[in-house]
Amino acid sequence: MKNGKVYLVGAGPGDPKLITVYGMECIKKAEVILYDRLINTSLLEYASEDTEFIYCGKEPGKHALIQEHIHQLMIEKSQQGKVVVRLKGGDPCVFGRVGEEAEILAAHDIPYDIVPGITAGIAAPAYAGIPVTHRDHASSFTIVTAHGREDKDQDELNWEALAKGSDTIAFYMGVGNLAHICHKLIDHGKSEETPVAVIQWGTTPDQRTVIADLATIEEAVKRNQITHPAIVLVGEVVRLREKIQWFEKAVML
Ligand code: SAH
């Protein structure tokens, strides 16, 4: 029997053209594809006809159970000698649980590759006309998960360091927690006037961007009914959008 292998692949942030050449090669040779909720499913059309597709979308509150099931499936299918692709949104190493999955595969002596992808925290701003660094405005960039809430004792972020030490901050999973994020940054010394962009469904035809500042963004997001999935981007670079915005007014050539 031939040996199986698992490819832990980043599908990119939404626009199907943003997957890597290597990622696409993996999809084309996959016999099984386990895919996440936020990937663009049009990518699955490149798989061969007899590829088996398994949806791994996570329901809130059922994470642990489903994650375990995903591990089992990856082990089972690859031990049957199959080429398995675990397709994740954005980059698999950025809030993608690739560490846990690779660890399990390593423990079972199952060969695997990790195929990077373009992460939403860089790509959604880029499509909104916001470079996360800029020679004159930002020389540091931090990626943060912001779903921990203080009232549930889950907020372990070093807000002091974030507020004082990072020029640009991309908060993932943060839109539901926006008020908390803004209060914490202001409390720890960021100016209320620091510009903020919230970019929903970045790099897709449904992309929407709302711009305000730390004091006003919560209200602006509510008014515009921006919800998950969205990147909350904080920093002076947000101002560049005014000059270099391109995607939301793009003309197809
Ligand atoms: N591994 C992914 C992130 C997974 S966490 C990556 O590298 O991009 C899921 C979070 O990513 C969402 O809550 C949202 O904050 C962000 N996200 C993913 N796709 C997005 C998109 N198209 N537009 C805006 N935010 C997105």
Report how far apart the first and last C-alpha atoms of the chain are (Å, whole number). 49
CA of 52 to the centre of ligand 1 (A): 25
pLDDT at 249: 75
Q: At what angle do helices 98-107 and 63-79 cross, to 10 degrees?
A: 40
Domain with CATH 3.30.950.10 in the chain: 120-252
Where the chain has pLDDT below 70, the residues are: 1, 59-65, 148-154, 250-253
Q: Is 102 in the pocket of ligand 1 (CB under 6 A)?
A: no
Which CATH fold would you assign to the domain 5-115?
Answer: Cobalt-precorrin-4 Transmethylase; domain 1 (3.40.1010)
1 has catalytic annotation: no
Question: Contact at 8 Å (CB) between 174 and 232?
Answer: yes
Q: Is 73 in the pocket of ligand 1 (CB under 6 A)?
A: no
Measured distance CA(165)–CA(159) in Å, rounded: 10
Token look-up 């974030």 returns 162
Which CATH fold would you assign to the domain 120-252?
Answer: 3.30.950
Q: Is 112 in the pocket of ligand 1 (CB under 6 A)?
A: no
Find residue 200's DSSP bridge partners: 208, 230
pLDDT at 150: 54
pTM: 0.94
- Amino acid identity at 55: Y
pLDDT at 221: 97
Domain with CATH 3.40.1010.10 in the chain: 5-115
